[in-house]
Chain A
Amino acid sequence: MGHRLLPRAVNYGVMTSTDSTQPIAAPFLSLEAVRKTYPGVVALDRFSMDVRPGEVIGLVGENGAGKSTLMKILGGVTRPDSGTVTVDGAAHDGLTVEQSIGSGIAFVHQELNLFENLDVAANIFFGREPLRAGPLRLVDRAKLREMVASLLKRVGANFSADAPVASLSLAQQQMVEIAKALSIKARLVILDEPTSSLPLAETEKLLDVIKGLKAQGISVIFISHRLHEIERVADRVVVLRDGTLAGTLAKDRINHDEMVRLMIGRMLKEREKAGEAARAPGSVALSADAIRTGTYPDRPVSLELRHGEILGLAGLVGSGRTELARVLFGIDERLAGSVTLDGKPLDVGSAADAVANGIFLVPEDRKLTGILLDLSIAQNISLPNLPAHARRSLVSASAELATAEKQKKNLGIKAPSVLTRTGTLSGGNQQKVVLAKWLAMNPKVMILDEPTRGIDIGAKAEIYGLMRALADAGVAVLMISSDMEEVIGVSDRIAVMHEGQISGILDKDDFSQENVLLLAVGKKPKLLQVAGGAQ
């Protein structure tokens, strides 16, 4: 094959010629009238869809719409109650895992299943390594490397087979997963929210990989909450709502608003509302002066965060945004510089100090650091403020429940009761619990690190609404986000980081994807008001 796998084109708005000359091949996989119920829930009903070779299908729907059930059916993990799954003309009541793998269906999950301590080659052929002749069953390293190298070339990887997985970026790790899928001769690769944790530049790479797969005749089902990415790569969009097919959009009808309309059955205005009001900024709440973090010890960062504003903090992953948040919240040590809160010098040596001063962080990794999955909603909410829920050092269950009930109602946390284990909640509701524990106290400064990652679109809108309500109440909100639409739609001002430093701050008039991107890679933005804009 002398064919170039990865198109060089950067202008994604224009269809490339390979796209338009798509052959209309017969579907190799189709689902018909599939139904699956769980106790008390119809997870999927009367659902039908086809997958043709070399087709990129965008699959969208809110959490709970039935996407995971559909994936489980395709993966052979669950059998549908009724309906048929046809592969290569053979109809089945449902697939087994072996049938699924045998028909070339491969999954790349949102949470990657890689051994970080092993190298790329070992990960791709784990348990299936080519062996040398002889009774010792030694791994044939030369052959392994050769096989892996050809797979890596197919996904357009820029790293080698013996690179340790721990040294790769998230997008590169996803390429490893995709290479793994190709190694079992996949005909359909299902990507489950692959970009939810990727920064912009990395996302570009992944979208290129998808196009590469398509050019090789491999079908892709691309699940994502980031609709603009779907707009760019999908040939067809399948929308699920409440377990049924809400609609299918052909290539020329794929657009953001249409997808949202089908997903939630109505138009959504929250996001626009969140960023609507341009008001006079309040006084400076938190001011960081030339602080240095452990990741970029030679790059001082200065930042001012005002009461009543939402300051978006954009930048590529690894640009030092999370590190900045961790230093402000007292998790990491501040190497140099000073911080003031409402004009008074502030020395934050631990998260406990930050919390005592009303500086709260909604961390990036909800499950590892945001909440305790094993504790109940009520216990999670009271945890940072437990002494206030206690009499003579003994926890008062009634005070704890009262606070939790109030927050559950305020935030609309969907759970049977406040005693429910947090681990059983959906991502959106877990995030609301993280917010609830801080809202139950008195936030002065609220730092949110990727607050809507992996959260469905309805809950997203609610979280945007909450951030705006906080800002309206005078709280200074710092929102770190890699989601461009979100940064531009929600923020009052946008600070962009590049390699450990603030490369620029954009005012509302200068908001554009292009400007944010330019600053993120360390270039000058195109400002409207040259006089007042540049810092």
Chain B
Amino acid sequence: MTKKDLGLLILILVVGAVVTAINPRFLSAINLANTSNLVALFGILSIGQAFVIITGGIELSVGSVIALLGTLFIDFIAVREVSWPLAFVLILALGSVIGFVHGWLITRLKLQPFVVTLCGLLIYRGVARFYTADGTAGFAFGQNFPTLEFLTAGRSYGLPNSFIALIVIAIVMWVVLHRSVFGRYLYAIGKNEEAAKYSGIRTGRVIIAAYVICGVLTALSAIYFAMYTRSISPASHGQFYELYAIAAAVLGGFSLRGGEGSLVGVILGTVLLQELQNLVNLLGIPSSLNFAVMGGVILIGVLVDQQWGVFRARRRMIEATRQNVAGAPAE
């Protein structure tokens, strides 16, 4: 855990303590379970986003992909009666295809990630709305998928199963990002893509892989969100979720220029965001202020982090000068 991550953790604990002091229901089992479920859902897609951001890219279509794939998933199992495991695999495959196309357009056709994924954001939202004819996708009365519902919305030992899934995914992705050859390539490309290429790394493939990972994780969270809300109106479902993911990554110490950030950081960033949402509800702050609170906290967080860096650099310089003065012979 880096110092940055530790600072974020302390911030989460302090905010939690303050909220508990004002409204003890913060620590109630039901509130914690609900919040951890949301942390899981947003955490999974934020991890995906983190893999893209580390290469210096961005994925803006996340929210629309969640709407489209969620709609398709419910349609597959509720209307077209596809068996849910098959539908599950199909949706993940679709997510990977979307990621691959984005990565291909960015690396082979040299389009900017912002542009490609912005177009994705518009296209997938439109397709989702068209698919349901602007209606709502949902289950018919009495339709039940016990195993699927248990895996997505159920609990084991009091923990939401989605949260357990997040932990497993986080551990696997931590190893991939921080210990594997592929993870090292991601960082190298994020720091300096040209130099990575000159070192014989197939940078195009690595970047495409990052978008595929993002696509698959987004698809997975799309299924979780679909099973969480159980009915989807594609016009609004998942809106702004890409921004939650980007915000979580930025709070977690990622640089949008690429090459910086840790997996623990993005998870902690997600936790803090959900804690803030929860705080708005529990403290009776008008929920219309929700986004304003989030934006304010992110801005302050980034500002403090940056100023702290400046302060430390200055202190180091003063320290060095002092040693210098003490060490120099009196002439």
Interface of A toward B, CB cutoff 8 Å: 35, 37-40, 81-82, 329, 331, 350-352, 354-356, 361, 363, 368-375, 379-380, 383-384, 386-387, 390, 393-395, 437
Contact = CB atoms under 8 A, between A and B. Distances in A.
Given A38-B324, A352-B200, A371 B181 contact: no
A384 B188 CA distance: 11
Contact of B184 (A363, A369, A379): A379
B197 A372 contact: no
A386 B188 CA distance: 12
Contacts of B188: 372, 375, 379, 383
Given A374-B259, A394-B179, A386 B184 contact: yes
A395 B179 contact: yes
Contact of A383 (B179, B199, B323, B328): B199
For this complex, into which size category does the number of interface residues on chain B fall? 20 to 34
Contacts of A40: 327
Nearest to A390: B181
A180 B259 CA distance: 37
Given A39-B327, A394-B175, A351 B192 contact: no
Contacts, number: 86
Nearest to B194: A369
B324 A386 contact: no
A519 B197 CA distance: 33
B77 interface: no
A361 B198 contact: yes
Nearest to A437: B199
B194 A356 contact: no
B212 to A, nearest CB: 16
B197 A351 contact: yes
A379 B180 CA distance: 13
A363 B192 CA distance: 14
A39 B328 CA distance: 9
Contacts of B328: 37, 81
Given A394-B180, A394-B181, A369 B195 contact: yes
Contacts of A331: 197-198
Nearest to B205: A352
Contacts of B194: 368-369
B323 A39 contact: yes
A368 B192 contact: yes
A386 B191 contact: no
Nearest to B178: A395
B235 interface: no
Nearest to A359: B200
Interface string B164-205: 000000000001000111101101100110111111111000
A437 B181 CA distance: 16
14 contacts: A37-B328, A81-B331, A82-B331, A350-B202, A351-B199, A351-B201, A352-B200, A369-B198, A372-B191, A374-B192, A380-B199, A383-B201, A384-B199, A387-B181
B200 A395 contact: no
Nearest to A360: B200
Given A352-B201, A369-B194, A383-B188, A393 B181 contact: yes
B198 A395 contact: no
Contacts of B191: 372-375
Contact of A352 (B181, B195, B202, B324): B202
A37 B327 CA distance: 10
